[in-house]
Chains A and B, each alone.
Chain A
Amino acid sequence: MTNTAGQPRKRLTMHQRQNLVGWLFLLPATILIIWLSFYPMFRALLISLMKGKPTALTFSDPLFRNYQRMMQDKVFIQSLINTFTYLIIQVPIMLVLAMIFASLLNRHDLKFKGLFRTCIFLPCATALVSYSIIFRTLFAYDGMINAMLMNMHILKEPVNWLNSPNTAKAVIIIALIWRWTGYNMVFYLAAMQSIDYSVYESARIDGASATTQLFRITIPLLKPIILVTAIMSTNGTLQLYDESVNLTQGGPANATITMSHYIYNTTFISNPNFGYAAAMSFVVLILVAILSVIQMKVGDKR
């Protein structure tokens, strides 16, 4: 009876079938992402509204108490200021340096290009913990940096780098620049190589200087990549953890502690306060989102 229409009614059309197969292919990944990523995020959101012992969490009253408390938490505010200090000083220096290195290495007449590229990229192949420990040793009171500066008669007596707030912050920033400049440089280099050399050639014929070429050709063409690296660096800096833990242990007197380090401390070192820690990590998420939106609005005029 169903065959009266010539084609079976219950069969799907070709388009529908393809659609269904497509969804089936998507299904495993979707389920995994929802299960392993979105569900935990949702749970974290719920936990950030709760208080009490880890095994007996109850909704706090008022509901946003954990978020309200943050404004009175001196250590949290300190960690926020520290993180933004790193962000404001380190990211611009690093991106400018990466741009300079990239344009140097992009020159056609440069010898040993491969060697230089490897050297500059190598730092980001080192593990975060090990490079932090190496920097701690370098900047120790009787470490190499002090010995070097004293032999060169730049310093009269050793500086206790990691034991005063400003120098400790400076050491972290130097370490971050060392670790991440090469990484960003690779992005710029790749983008620069996609710019046709004839563009520069014709610009030179028109009498454009190297600076003009940089500001009028390279940077405008690299804009999307600069945006990507800026967002990635901002994101990474806001989540800074390893350097604070391993290089300075957050000290002296919380002068270098980052938000992620403080969140970890709240959960695992101090008396566990899961609700408050979850709330703080949501603040980090919101900050990342806001900063990314600003950067996209400023940087992308399409």
Chain B
Amino acid sequence: MKKLLALVMALTMIMTMAAALATTDDGKLTIWTWDPTFNIAAMNIAKEMYQKDHPDVEIEIQEVLSEDIETNVTIAASSGDLSTLPDILLVQDNSFQKFATNYPEVYMDITDAYNFDGFGEAKVAYSVLDGRHYGIPFDAGTVVGAYRTDYLEKAGYTIADLKDITWDKLIEIGKVVKEKTGLPMFSGQAGSVDSIMIMMQSCGESLFNEDGSVNLKNNETLKKIIDVYSTMVKEGIYLEVNSWDEYIGTLSNGSVVGTFQGCWILSTIMSLADQKGKWDITNMPAMSNVEGATNYSNNGGSSWAIINGKDTDLALDFMQLYRNVDFYNAILPTTSAIATFAPAKEAPAYTAPNEFFNGTPIFATIVEYTGHVPSNITGAYYYDARNAVSTAITNALNGADIDAELANAEDTVNFAMGF
């Protein structure tokens, strides 16, 4: 009996200790982020720069995968105990509103505490909910059209022929390229709808209306985009592959002419040493016959959130670095993380010509593009809508009627929203 009592007491003690360990100390910043070559590297530079002026502040950067961060936020918020979360964490732009809507007590409202002048409007919109700001922009997902100039040359084109064009023109060029080189112009993951969403945002169009209602069934722009997309797939201009690795494979094997993708794809392209000098970038094609259509869009990217009830003053002071041009200049060479902070484009690292891309100063170009990107509405049900659209497009490509499929997709999302 005594032993049992001792056991119970020991167990209790272990649990109290574990609970004590979970709470964070004051005067120390903990940061969760996921990519050692990208956002962790950027935060490490920020840490060095900040500690130069504030040597007594301890900053700990922990590598936590994006999915794990989301799960941890879900758990902490559901249990009502935020003490397990860090002071600052990184959030994918596309799921920012889902978390801000469902767990409003987690991310700090920084509307009055942070200055958002100079950040790209479309970028900031991802972390704004009901007019309040909850996130500090990190990297841009500004879309670039990246092309293999050697293949284009073979077909009798230059990169200038692809600048400021429409999709109709692209299909025309794509047919010639396909005939001359046998290669598709683009590739993408079947069912991932990345390309569709990029084209949607380039028109400033969303899957939702301003009031949050679903906008699929009567979305004429979406129908036109799906039409362009399926034409490209059928003509062999756009190659659908089944997984992300296969998509990356088409770029590294040189089995496609180019890609239109968030600018983070450039760091993958630049890792292909044997293709140095063969690439160049320009903007993406625009939709024709659509009001407000542009050659600019966004895909991916992430923003920093500050957690309520933590060392918020210190965190805010630290995050002022993200309004500092020197900081962006310092992180660019090692991380290729491109700023959404417009003044950064004057920094020397941005204006330097890039050998890999025939001497085009790609980073300044991209920051320039960022300013033109129309904003879109993501909302809490963004992934529900994406999945529904993906199903509709896959069925349509297999011969189903697109109007019926989109009506079906709208029902699916409305069903999810009616919980």
Contacts and interface: CB of A to CB of B under 8 A. Distances in A.
Interface stretch (A99-107, A199-207, A213-221, A269-277): A269-277
B264 interface: no
Interface residues of B, number: 39
A160 interface: yes
B191 A253 contact: yes
Contact of A253 (B77, B242, B394): B394
Contact of B242 (A74, A140, A254): A140
Interface stretch (B195-203, B332-340, B363-371, B378-386): B378-386
A74 B416 CA distance: 11
Given A24-B4, A251-B190, A273-B419, A141 B390 contact: no
B110 to A, nearest CB: 21
Contacts of B70: 268
B348 interface: no
Given A271-B102, A271-B380, A136 B71 contact: no
A24 B71 CA distance: 38
Interface string B67-100: 1001100100110100000000000000000100
B387 interface: yes
Given A136-B242, A254-B391, A273-B416, A54 B381 contact: no
A162 B240 CA distance: 11
A249 interface: yes
Contacts of B390: 251, 253
Contacts of A271: 98, 101-102, 380-381, 383-384, 416-417
A227 interface: no
Given A53-B102, A141-B246, A270-B381, A253 B412 contact: no
A54 B384 CA distance: 17
A108 to B, nearest CB: 47
Interface in B1-45: 4
B103 interface: yes
Nearest to A252: B394
Nearest to A27: B4
A163 interface: yes
Contacts of B392: 253
A6 to B, nearest CB: 27
B81 to A, nearest CB: 11
Contacts of B67: 268
Nearest to B7: A28
B49 interface: no
Contacts of A268: 67, 70-71, 74
A272 B390 CA distance: 19
A176 to B, nearest CB: 19
Contact of A55 (B102, B191, B243): B102
Interface string A10-49: 0000000000000010000000000000000000000000
A3 interface: no
A74 B387 contact: no
A72 interface: yes
B103 A55 contact: yes
A141 B246 CA distance: 9
11 contacts: A55-B103, A74-B411, A140-B242, A141-B242, A163-B240, A252-B190, A253-B390, A270-B381, A271-B102, A273-B416, A273-B419
